[in-house]
Amino acid sequence: MSILQVEDLTKIYGKGDAAVTALDGVSFSVDKGEFVAVVGASGSGKSTLMHLIGGVERPTGGRVTVDGKDIFTLNESRLAIFRRRNIGLIYQFYNLIPTLTAEENIMLPYLLDGRKPDPKKLDEILELLGLADRREHLPGQLSGGQQQRVSIGRALINDPAVILADEPTGNLDSHRSRSILELLKLSNRQFHQTLLVITHDEKIALQADRILTIGDGRILHDEAVRA
């Protein structure tokens, strides 16, 4: 069953002579529970793809359907609400709120909804991420790996339809990278999470079920990985 559908997605920055085509008619679909790696050289358009799927940017043309919902038919605030309930974003630079504790950062999508998450679920995630004894710490008091784990927790908390991760290990050493990747895979298996990871690291890509290779704004290859 397809949970994410991308149809003829196009994004052009600028106008006239200065126009740059970042994405040029990209189409693919992802099934629920699939772990997809998106690879490509820098400037190939993979970050743009992720921002479009995440709904933080609007495309020039094409459609993105998440869990049966065409997200760009939503107005800005409905899209924001849809995002906090259905999409989890993980960035290279963690992007935590420096003034909130680790726990509050993880709960952020719920807090924005004016709700409290199920404490059991929160405990389960904190345990999984190895942050149980760090819940009251501020991001500034955590290491890079711990901060990235907090941002993974923030993406997991609301059981999103899709988790989008943009170079989640790009800022970490190889040891920490491996443990972050293990976590992502674990969540993929344990919670049956759909995972879309953007990376230029081949080792990470090979852990996925499927690799999408992007170049010049188009999909060059779409191949399944043999485990």
Partner 1 sequence: MNSIPAVLAKAQLKQNRRRTLITMIGIVLSVSMLTAVCGFAVSGIEAMRSLVGDGYIEAYQSMFISMAAVLGAIIMAASVVVISNAFRISASERLRQFGILKSVGATRRQIMKTMLYEALYLSCIAIPLGIVVGLLIQWLGTSIGDMLLAPMNKLIVDGLSIHMRFVFSWASILIALALSLGTILLSAWLPARKAARIPAIEAIRLTQEIRVRKKRLKTSRLVRTLFGFEGTLAAKSIKRSRGSYRAMVIALAISIILFLVCGSMDSLLTMTVNQLYANIDANTLTTFSSNSSASEYYGQTLGSSDAEPITEALRAYPDTQIYGVGVEAGYTLGVSSADLTGALLKTLDEGQTTVGAVLVTVDRAHYEAICKAAGAAVGSNILINSAQGAISNKSTEFQPLRFSGQTLTLSKNDVSVEVPLDAQLAGAQVPQEVFYSADGNPIIVVVPDCAPRLYYWYGSSADLSGFLSYAETTMAAFFPVAEGSDAFVYSVLDVSSVTDMTRSLSKLVTIFLYGFVGMLALIGLTSVISAISTNVRLRAREFAALRSVGMTQGGLRRMLALESVMSALKALLYGLPIGSLAVYLTYRALTIKGQFQFIYPWATLAEVAAGVFLITLITTQYAAAKLRGGNIIEAIRSNEGI
Rounded to whole angstroms, how far apart are CA atoms 156 and 193? 9
User: Is residue 218 involved in binding partner 1 (CB under 8 A)?
Assistant: no
Q: Which residues pair with 214 in a beta bridge?
A: 219
Compute φ and ψ for 87, nearest 5 degrees.
Answer: -130, 135
Name the one residue in this structure whose structure tokens are 């710490």.
Answer: 137
- Contacting residue, 89, 125, 129, 198, with partner 1 by CB under 8 A: 89
Rounded to whole angstroms, how far apart are CA atoms 21 and 102? 38
The two three-digit tokens of residue 12, written as one number: 């052009």
Return the range that interacts with partner 1 (CB under 8 A); candidates 5-13, 64-72, 75-83, 216-224.
Answer: 75-83
Minimum distance, C-beta of residue 224 to partner 1, in the bound complex (Å): 30
Return the range that interacts with partner 1 (CB under 8 A); candidates 82-90, 129-137, 184-192, 206-214.
Answer: 82-90
Closest CA to 26 of 57, 52, 55: 52
SS3 41: coil
Measured from the CB atom, is 47 or 207 closer to partner 1?
47
User: Is residue 16 involved in binding partner 1 (CB under 8 A)?
Assistant: no
User: Is residue 97 involved in binding partner 1 (CB under 8 A)?
Assistant: yes
Interacting residues toward partner 1 by CB under 8 A: 51, 54, 56-57, 76-77, 80-85, 87, 89, 91, 93, 95-100, 104, 108-109, 111-114, 139-140, 147, 154
